[in-house]
Each structure stands twice: as C-alpha cells, then as structure tokens.
Amino acid sequence: MAKMRTEYLCRECGANHPKWLGKCPDCGVWDSLEKFAVEVEASKSSSAPIWGAPTDPTEIDALARGGIGRAVPLGRVPEAVVPRIPTGISEFDRVLGGGIVPGSVMLIGGDPGIGKSTLMMQAAASIAARGGTALYASSEESPQQVRLRAERLDAVVRAGGASALGERLLVLGETNVARIVEQARRAKATLVVVDSVQLIHRTDISAAPGSIAQLRRCCLDLVGLAKSSGCSVIIVGHVTKEGTLAGPKLLEHLVDVVLGFEGDRHSSIRVVRGVKNRFGSTQEIGLFEMQGDGLAEVESVRVPLTGGPTAPGCSFVATMAGTRCLLGEIHALVATGFLGSAKRRSSGLDSSRLAMLIAVLEKHGGLRLADQDVFAQSLGGLKIAEPAADLAVALAIAGAFLHRTLPQGTVAIGEIGLTGELRTVPHIEQRVHESLRRGARSVLVPASARIGDSARPVRGECAEDAQIVRIGTISRALELLAPTQRPLTHEMLTSESPRGDHSTRSAGSTRTVEFDAPVNNTMPRNSHAATRTNS
C-alpha cells in the first residue's frame, strides 16, 4: 500500500510547503496555503552507473540524437527546425510568432463573454479545414450547444459547414481530464482545445474542480499529452476581478505561451496580447472585431483622421505594438477642481507620465493646471505606455484647457523631456510612413528626428498636401493650437514669425517644414497659453 504525505500548496504562487504557515514565504500572501494529500512512491535508483560525460565521438553523437541520459557538448547537439502550424487567423498567428509550435501548451485568459470560446472554435475549425485534426473539449457546454455556436461562425461556414469538416473537427463534452487525454491520443489530434481548465478534474483527487490540487495535476496531464504526442494544447482559463488569470501562478510557469484576451464589453474591438511566449516576442498584439459571424481580423484601430472636424482635447499618435505601427486617438478633458487637490486620471495611458506632462506644460507651456482636474484616455482599446505619445497627450491636454484644436489630419509623435525639449523616438520613419499612408495631412516630429525618403509614401498613397513638421520644444508646438478646424496649410507654417526660424524642404509629394526653436524657458511672443480662453 502506497504511503500518503501531507503537503500545503499556495493557491497564489503554487509553492509547496511541508507544514502550514500563516504567510507563504515565496509570494508573501497571507492565509493562502491549502492542505492536500500526496501519494509517496518508492524511489527507484538506476542500476546503470554514470561515469561522467562520454568521450567517444560515436557515443556522443548517439546521445545527442536522443537528447536524454547524459550531458553532451552543445556543439554536437543537432539543430532542430520545427515548422509552425499556421491557424489561418493572421492576427492570432502574429501574436504566437508565426503559428502554433507542435507540442506546445498555451493558456489564454479573459473576461467572461469577451470571445475566448469563439476564437478557439475559429482556430480549431481553421486547423481542420487545412487538413489537420482538432479536438474541442468543452467542460462548460454540451456537444449540441457547441455545434449551435459553431454553425454561425464564418470560419465554419467557409469550410462548408460542420458536416463538411467530417472527422477532422471533433467535439467532446467532458470534465474528466483522463478521458480528454485518451480521446486526443486516439484521434491523433493536431490541436486540442480545453475550455475551460477550471471545470476539469481527476477522479483520484478528492478536491473539488478548480481547486489548487486539481488545477495543478490536470495541467500537468495536459502538458504531458503535448510533450509526448506532439499535439498542441490550448487551455482556456478564467480571470479574477483584478484581471489576472485565476488559479496558481504555477499554471503560467508550466505552459509555454500565456495570452491575454482584452476588450471593453461596450466596444466591439478585442485585443490579444502575449504575456509569455517561449517561441516568440511578447510585444505583438492581435486586433479583432466581434461581429455576428464571429471574430473578424482588424488591420488597425479605425481613427477619424480625415473625418469630421477635430474637437478640442483630441489628438492622434502613431504607436508601436511589436513590429506593427498603429494609429491611436487621445482624448483629454480639463475641468476646474472644487475639492482642494486636483485629480489626475488616465485610461489606457501611463498615469505617472501623465503627471509629468502636466508639470512640463505648467513650467514650459505657461498653462495654469494646478487647480484643474485632468482626465486623459486612449480610445479603441489600445494601451499606450511608450514615451512616443508624450507630444500627442500634451497637445490634447493643452487643447482641452484652451478650447483650441489641432488642425484636421494632424498626427503628433515625440517624447517630451523635463526641459520641454522634444526628443526623437525609435522607429520614427515607420511611424511617419504609416501616418501619411493612413491619410494624415501633417505629422509633427521632433526637430532631431532623422527621417529619410523611405518614410515618405509614393505619390498617390498619401494626401497631396501632406507634410512633415519638425518642432523643437513644447512651447513651439502649442503655437499650432488655434481656434480653427482647417487643415494645417503651408501658409500657416511659413507666415512671418517673431523668431523668423521657419524653413521648408520638399521631397517628392511630401513637404518637410522646419518649425524649430532652441530650448528655452520663455513663452512665445504670440502665445495664447498663459490664460484660459472661451472661444
């Protein structure tokens, strides 16, 4: 009879402890240890002696091909080129690094109703339509409910319906992880989707489904399935009210890829972000839009660059998400505070950087914001934390305070230093190119930015009057705010200036305008930023 040993497992970090403690030493969370019994197996020592690293070249090559048993020189290990399996969903493949790696285990989490099951069904249907075998194991729905949901998806309709997929798309309504593993091995599945991990269980563990012990052992079984059979496993997980994945952090350590599915319940835009990826970058994001026939891929968040008039407190920025350039829309609201200390609130932006920009506007822009409540947000579900959005955020705040607008079709790119100087940012040429290609008439960049001809689209791909405007300081940038909604024209920038420091250069179909000034702490002579106006 096997012996049983009592252990205590932390439900926050998954650490094991031999006795109960009030606070977990690993993560520091109080009252997080739960008791469970573990079967102790007799240790079996290997009878074969180990004499150290081999020296015979033939033996080294044999061990290198096997990869298990003894240490071998790294240079003798053969290179392994594992082709990825494309899902046919380009936005999903982008986040994964080009497709699914065979034998990998992925964990995706998101709020209820955000579209996790829809995305997983589309991925399974796409794999089946490409000749693979996909097993969709649902612990929350019956097979009839899964088919009812799948029939309306565009991925299934394009494949000719659920019947046309035949034996390549299998549906299993099961909560027993052993049966899920058995069915996956029997079907020789290419992809296994488990929706969701919080409801599956092992019969030899008395704990309830979703407990620490059940989650740990079930996840280990699924990892063992992927590593031994070569199939890829996607696990769908729940999230807590704080937005983190439910269950111990051990789940995130066991899997190869952790994805977050985000989006506003009141918006149709959904964003897939990489939190952990052993086979690719975690900087990429995938954009989707929830429609009646499933999730549709979105090239970029739609922003009204060439739409109606620009409102005070509105600006646009070109931000980088991995290797992709996206246009984001920034909104700001400035209102008089009545409760003593002014409020500073941000949504989708870095709150600490927002406070710094407000201080710079007070010092070098002449705006009296000490008693003003400032609210700023990034629209479209984008989270912008890079310094490249400094200029756009500052212009949005200044415009909201002064009741003035940026000229229509203006995109602002640049980092603002504590001295009020504008500094260049990485990938400036790609940002400018994407802004002009998307219809921007004016792109505001730091004066120190190096922009070659590759940043300017060919004639016909951008507006005829498109131009790149170089600005040196935030005080000079505030001069572009005016009570007008007309596009920024060449005459507005080359009109007589008190400093006389405007010059223009033309390259192709895109004009470059120098609107630079040395860094100083004085306000422009024609500045309107000292007091708030109601125009």
Alpha helices (H) along 189-299: 212-229, 250-254
Query: What integer is the mean pLDDT of 488-502?
Result: 47
Locus of tokens 């350039």? 325
Contacts of 309 (CB under 8 A, 6+ apart): 405, 408, 485
Closest CA to 221 of 238, 204, 207, 206: 204
The whole-angstrom separation of Cα 161 and Cα 146 is 13
| pLDDT tier, 492 (very low <50, low <70, confident <90, very high otherwise) | low
What are the structure tokens assigned to 512, written together? 């470059």
Whether residue 133 contacts residue 124, with contact meaning beta carbons closer than 8 Å, is answered with no
pLDDT of residue 513: 67
Total residue count of the chain as it appears in this document = 535
Longest dimension (CA), the chain: 95
pLDDT of residue 368: 92
Coil, helix or strand at residue 514: strand
Query: What integer is the mean pLDDT of 271-289?
Result: 89
pLDDT top residue among 195 and 507: 195
DSSP state letter for 4: E
Query: What integer is the mean pLDDT of 414-419?
Result: 96
pLDDT top residue among 423 and 28: 423
Whether residue 290 contacts residue 117, with contact meaning beta carbons closer than 8 Å, is answered with no
Pairing of strands 285-291, 269-277: antiparallel
Whether residue 451 contacts residue 445, with contact meaning beta carbons closer than 8 Å, is answered with yes
What are the structure tokens assigned to 319, written together? 């931000």
**Strands (E) located in 196-284:** 232-237, 257-263, 269-277
User: pLDDT of 175-214, one tens digit each?
Assistant: 999 999 999 999 999 999 999 898 999 998 888 888 888 8
Query: What integer is the mean pLDDT of 251-274?
Result: 86
Phi/psi class of residue 233: alpha, beta or left (left: φ > 0; alpha: ψ in -120 to 50)?
beta
pLDDT top residue among 160 and 117: 117
Locus of tokens 């190119």? 433
Q: Compute CA 526 distance to the chain's CA centroid, rounded to the nearest angstrom.
A: 43
User: pLDDT of 10-28, one tens digit each?
Assistant: 877 777 888 888 998 888 8
Contacts of 475 (CB under 8 A, 6+ apart): 364, 365, 366, 420, 517, 522, 523, 524, 527, 529
Average of per-residue pLDDT values in the chain? 81
* Backbone dihedral angles phi then psi of residue 144, each to the nearest 5 degrees: -65, -40
What are the structure tokens assigned to 251, written together? 């789940």
DSSP string covering 450-467: ---GGGSPPTTSS-TT-E
Cis peptide before 196 (omega within 30 of 0): yes
pLDDT of residue 514: 66
Closest CA to 435 of 313, 300, 532: 300
Locus of tokens 């403690």? 21
**Strands (E) located in 358-501:** 372-378, 410-412, 415-416, 422-423, 442-446, 467-471
* Backbone dihedral angles phi then psi of residue 227, each to the nearest 5 degrees: -75, -30
User: pLDDT of 25-63, one tens digit each?
Assistant: 888 888 888 887 766 655 444 444 333 444 455 544 544
| pLDDT tier, 299 (very low <50, low <70, confident <90, very high otherwise) | confident
What pTM value is reported for the model?
Answer: 0.70
pLDDT of residue 234: 97
pLDDT of residue 393: 97
Q: Residue 503 above 70 pLDDT?
A: no
